[in-house]
Amino acid sequence: MLSSTADHLYWMARSMERAENTARMLDVTYRMSLLKQTVAEPHHEWRAMLSISGLDEDFEARYAEPSADNVMHFMALDEKNPGSIYNSIFSARENARAVRGSITSEMWEALNQTWLEMRRIQMEGIAADGVSRFFEWVKERSHLSRGITHGTLLRDDTYRFLRLGTFFERADNTARILDVKYHILLPSLSDIGGAADYYQWGALLRSVSAFESYRKVYRDQITPKRVAELLVLRPDMPRSLTTCMNEVNRLLQEINGPRAGELLRRCGLLHGELRFGSIDGIFARGLHEYLSDFLERIYELGDLINTTYFWSTDELPPAMFGTLPAATLSFNMTSSSQLMA
């Protein structure tokens, strides 16, 4: 397979997964913002989301305050934000267009229709009473895209690079969603274990489609430790870090390649730590510290995937990353093909 084809496939899947996960983060933030706000820290949840996404500096340069309307527009519909849902769907569609000969016609039709509908929504705006419907629409289109891929595509390297992009992006975003709640949105001591705390953890679980799974596994009160265990260590939870890294490790071993030695070593090390880790050990270290380290290592793995299969560092044009805010580069590796589209 040509490295440029693999690049487009990988980023097509990552971009669609990113659109879905941005919708999930916006959804949990929106639900949390409906709770009683403190006068001392207005818009606290929206600031938290911008911070954990690495987009706070770019936002502050263009918007007066992190109000719900401003952040929602910036993260969902803003054409100038490379991480917005609008641009993520555009990127997925453009990468798919570049490799139409490698994907099925059903895959292309689904992505193209999603983009056409996204353009209409972007022009008309999201009605105040349609916020939740919009998030559900984004998630449903992402589910449709993955379902068609799974049901129509030959199980070759095309399929493997698409799945690699999906699970890599999902691991990154699951860590961010959990960190938003645990590190930045911790309630005051008087609220821990109270109604507000319960609602926030419930909103987080629903944002990753894990509320029913939590009830089935634990059948008890929602606690931070159990939520973290579910989303970090449970191999039977579809969006847990362990499940994602199980798939990433398996797919990289199947793809392999002559320059993949260091990539496989680092991926195997991270995969092993998750597979044999314990929630008590993670909390003893500190959940935020653990998630921050995971995000840093997943970024390094993404960089290795980029240089191993797609581009070497000296092949990238000097101004390749000049259009992205520094905060975004510190967390998210953006596809070279995405920027050239």
Q: Position 152: which residue type?
A: T
Of the pLDDT bands very low, low, confident and very high (cuts 50, 70, 90), residue 189 is very low
CA distances from 130 to 27, 135, 319 (A): 12, 9, 39
CB 84 within 8 A of CB 76: yes
Residue with tokens 């510190």: 330
Q: Of the candidates 67, 38, 71, which has an alpha carbon nearest to the alpha carbon of residue 52?
A: 71
CB 160 within 8 A of CB 190: no
- Can you tell me the distance from the alpha carbon of 21 to that of 253, in angstroms, rounded to the nearest whole number? 26
Q: Of the candidates 164, 184, 168, which has an alpha carbon nearest to the alpha carbon of residue 292?
A: 184
**pLDDT tens track for 231-272:** 999 999 999 999 999 999 999 999 998 999 999 999 999 999
In a domain, 70, yes or no: yes
Q: Of the candidates 338, 298, 11, which has an alpha carbon nearest to the alpha carbon of residue 165?
A: 11
Q: What share of the chain is helix, strand, coil (3-state, %, to 5)?
A: 70, 0, 30
In a domain, 228, yes or no: yes
Supply the pTM of this predicted model. 0.85
- Can you tell me the distance from the alpha carbon of 108 to that of 115, in angstroms, rounded to the nearest whole number? 11
CB 158 within 8 A of CB 253: no
- Can you tell me the distance from the alpha carbon of 178 to that of 157, in angstroms, rounded to the nearest whole number? 32
Q: What is the chain's Cα-based Rg? A: 19
Neighbours of 139 (CB within 10 A): 18
CB 201 within 8 A of CB 224: yes
User: Up-side HSE of residue 99: CA atoms within 13 Å toward CB?
Assistant: 29
**pLDDT tens track for 8-60:** 999 999 999 999 999 988 887 887 777 655 444 567 778 877 877 778 889 99
For 163, the domain range is 3-313
pLDDT at residue 37 in the model:
57
- Can you tell me the distance from the alpha carbon of 340 to that of 216, in angstroms, rounded to the nearest whole number? 46
In a domain, 333, yes or no: no
In a domain, 9, yes or no: yes
In a domain, 136, yes or no: yes
**pLDDT tens track for 268-323:** 999 999 999 999 999 999 888 999 999 999 999 999 999 999 975 444 443 333 33
In a domain, 201, yes or no: yes
- Can you tell me the distance from the alpha carbon of 338 to that of 341, in angstroms, rounded to the nearest whole number? 5
**pLDDT tens track for 68-77:** 889 999 999 9
CA distances from 157 to 103, 145, 250, 257, 312 (A): 11, 18, 13, 12, 20
Cα dihedral 14, 19, 23, 25 sign: positive
Overall number of domains in the chain:
1
In a domain, 78, yes or no: yes
In a domain, 165, yes or no: yes
